[in-house]
Amino acid sequence: MKAFLKEYLDIIIYTICGILIIFSSYNIIINIKHANYINNKVTVSDIDNNFKKFKDNVIKIENFAQDDKSFDTVLRLLKNDGIYKLLPGDKLGYTDLYHLNNYFIDSLINNGYISNLKINEKINNTIYEKYMNNLIYDANYITRELENNSNYQYDVFNNKIRDTIVEEYQMILKNYLDFSYIILEMCGNL
């Protein structure tokens, strides 16, 4: 009877060890795929509509800023760094996206809009508060995603890992584009 229980216990222990080895192997494979995705980069495309629209909006803001000097700081911040300086064919990694998003929050929102345009008496800012709050929320969401290094997600339905760097780039580009639309709207309402 003791021999039977000992053999039965050995079978249970070997089964548990086998399950642990399978689980560990699965995690190793996922980590190898994750390491490959960390090195992925998104390529800036000239044919991307949002990229072209953003550059066109900056040119329109520049035309308005010639008449009204209150938009000079925002225009300078838009043209100095960020998306505007990118060239077609540039490759962006996760750290680049993180810096683009931080530039958007720190420079464009805090220094450009809040410091310069929000205190301008000529502009009715109550209209734009909701839009700016949405942009700030989106930018903070992107920052959290990038800080958590969530550069891949496991898609249960398709049984594959999906790379999110392109999605995060598109969200950052959309924030820049929406910001330029808000500034254009402000320019037009003066």
pLDDT tens string 28-60: 887 777 666 666 777 777 557 788 888 888 888
Q: Which domain holds residue 126?
A: 40-188
- Mean pLDDT on 175-179: 87
Residue 150 has pLDDT above 60, yes or no: no
pTM comes to 0.69
Looking at residue 165, its pLDDT comes to 75
Residue 27 lies in a domain: no
- Mean pLDDT on 77-86: 77
Question: What is the pLDDT of the chain when averaged over all its residues?
Answer: 77
Residue 31 lies in a domain: no
Q: Tokens 């924030």 identify what position? A: 175
Residue 118 lies in a domain: yes
Residue 19 lies in a domain: no
pLDDT band at 16 (very low <50, low <70, confident <90, very high): very high
Two structure tokens written together for 42? 């998104």
Q: Which amino acid is at 94?
A: Y
Residue 9 has pLDDT above 70, yes or no: yes
Residue 25 lies in a domain: no
Residue 21 lies in a domain: no
CA distances from 27 to 30, 44, 74, 146, 184 (A): 5, 33, 47, 22, 49
Helix (H/G/I), strand (E/B), else coil: 43? strand
Contact present, 121 and 115 (Cβ < 8 Å):
no
Count of the separate structural domains present in the chain: 1
Looking at residue 122, its pLDDT comes to 62
Two structure tokens written together for 55? 């550059």
Residue 16 lies in a domain: no
Residue 139 lies in a domain: yes
